[in-house]
Structure 1
């Protein structure tokens, strides 16, 4: 049976009102009395009614986190930053993943609102339909997008220079003489895919070259896609001397395929990933990639959200972190 405030009052000899105020650390209750009551509550196994508390204070001290892909460790590193910033602010997070489903994203938003969260951090599917955009525009709580964007709501985003990062990768490979570069793109329902493809096009244009659509392959972003798409390209006789990938997960699959086809990296084919996942430095060979400040992305997103929770009238502004190329053993 649950321990109630009246049970703590009976055990300590104080009134229910005094117990209630002490549990809320009311400064009008002496420190000695507060410590005594909280000690008794802890020993009795008292669990605070957070729903009732949030109704009284109009704040739940909870934030809903909508991640995108539970199979990709990129998002766990972002969430780690979110959680640390939340903990420092004495907030709790509720975490769920859409698996890139628009319907699930909408369902999670409704669920979090029912839980009376104070704000939402979402990694949205790139769906610019009026209904999807309206879902966010009508939110009664502040919201922030770490690492992604939606048209018309970019000021809610904390980004990481996707277009610039991917342009630098392609320009680096082109500068080394590669003219046939296989590019494994991400899914079209992700804003990063759109922006990185723009970076690819920009790199070719800057070098007076045209993009050959035959060398652009769409993937889901998972390891098995990198493996199967590389195998398919090789089987079709698609000659390429370098592979640039939407993320490190795809690059891992690429390396397995190339190895099984007796192609040496980087001697025969150079490979570049994106995201700089923690595991990338330990691969054999270690992966050249684009470093994205994943932890900081989440930390700043949470800090930004807290600022808007504390001041609902605060104007939103886009943050865009720079990226850098990390050269390892998959490139010369």
Structure 2
């Protein structure tokens, strides 16, 4: 592999001039720059990216922490953030917080040690005050996704999950349902708590009391939906519809009801959340709340690039969900609500 000295000799310039070209220094004549670039191409010279990052104080990378490396939500968010970053000629380094506070802290420190130009963080457990302190202590810009920290509002790209929970529940209320159960996500997650708050607001809007017996905490995973159905039915409380915290649990819930001989939506209407790819292909197709994951993944990537370059920019940080009505919900039928056998 060619060295920088060989490139300087071939281009008949100093080593310092080659270094300026490699580091993008604008104080190099265009004819000289082209001569150096041609020499680099002819000799197959590959600049040392670490040395270049020391010289420019830029690593040409954006770091990203997500809660989980699997699942349709994180997959789509990572895909669109990475696309924006790659289109800018940079790379996205991704690691996971694994839904524990220690792992979240470790993941953030891992990326900071790699001198990423900016960080995109999806953090469930790190307290707001700690995130604010981290942002103030580090020169590396921080962008938060799917979470609003008021003191860092201009660095947050988030979904109004409370509005999503309200939309899902209001849809069922409009179809005549009054005994509406709710399967939440894990309530240590801010988005799960916000969706539950939306459910409660929708009930309150029509004068219905909140009933803890109709609420089961789930885990955002498909088997958790089946477990939640079993728990609801074991309580022997009447309900005609269910709001489920995400589509994966909704799939599990549908299976759980079917295994017990209950029909969707004939016996139980059901609304999911996320609008994952398979939602429209289920039997019946799933009524769900659509989350614009692609849009806020892209926006997080764009913001990270701008702030990483020290450029102030206008931010579209609050995204709104929409209801997608399909076949898993129906008007309340004039028949008894399901209870445990």
Q: TM-score higher than 0.5 here? A: yes
Farther-moved stretch of structure 1 (148-157 vs 54-63): 148-157
Residue 214 (str. 1) matches residue 239 (str. 2): no
What is the 5 A alignment of 1:258-273?
A: 258-273=257-272
Q: 1:52–1:256: structure 2 CA closer, same or farther, 3 Å change rule?
A: same
Q: 1:3–1:250: structure 2 CA closer, same or farther, 3 Å change rule?
A: farther
8 Å contact 2:226–2:255 — kept in the other structure?
Answer: yes
Residue 111 (str. 1) matches residue 110 (str. 2): yes
Distance 2:148 2:325 in 1: 28
Q: 1:149–1:254: structure 2 CA closer, same or farther, 3 Å change rule?
A: same
Q: What is the Cα deviation at residue 66 of structure 1?
A: 0.4
Residue 138 (str. 1) matches residue 137 (str. 2): yes
Farther-moved stretch of structure 1 (137-146 vs 95-104): 137-146
Q: Normalized against structure 1, the TM-score is what?
A: 0.89
Q: What is the Cα deviation at residue 151 of structure 1?
A: 5.2
Distance 2:43 2:274 in 1: 47
Q: What is the Cα deviation at residue 32 of structure 1?
A: 5.1
What is the 5 A alignment of 1:183-262?
A: 183-262=182-261
Q: Normalized against structure 2, the TM-score is what?
A: 0.87
How many aligned residue pairs are there?
Answer: 327
Q: What is the Cα deviation at residue 91 of structure 1?
A: 1.8
Q: Which residue matches 2:329?
A: 331
8 Å contact 1:149–1:191 — kept in the other structure?
Answer: no
In the alignment, structure 2 segments of 5+ residues that lack a partner are 331-341
1:125-155 CA-partner distances (Å, limit 9, x unpaired): 1443644542344232111112223354333
Distance 1:138 1:315 in 2: 22
**Alignment RMSD:** 2.4
Q: 1:125–1:302: structure 2 CA closer, same or farther, 3 Å change rule?
A: same
8 Å contact 1:63–1:121 — kept in the other structure?
Answer: yes
Q: Which residue matches 1:320?
A: 318
Distance 1:52 1:187 in 2: 44
Q: Which residue matches 1:290?
A: 289
Q: Which residue matches 1:81?
A: 80
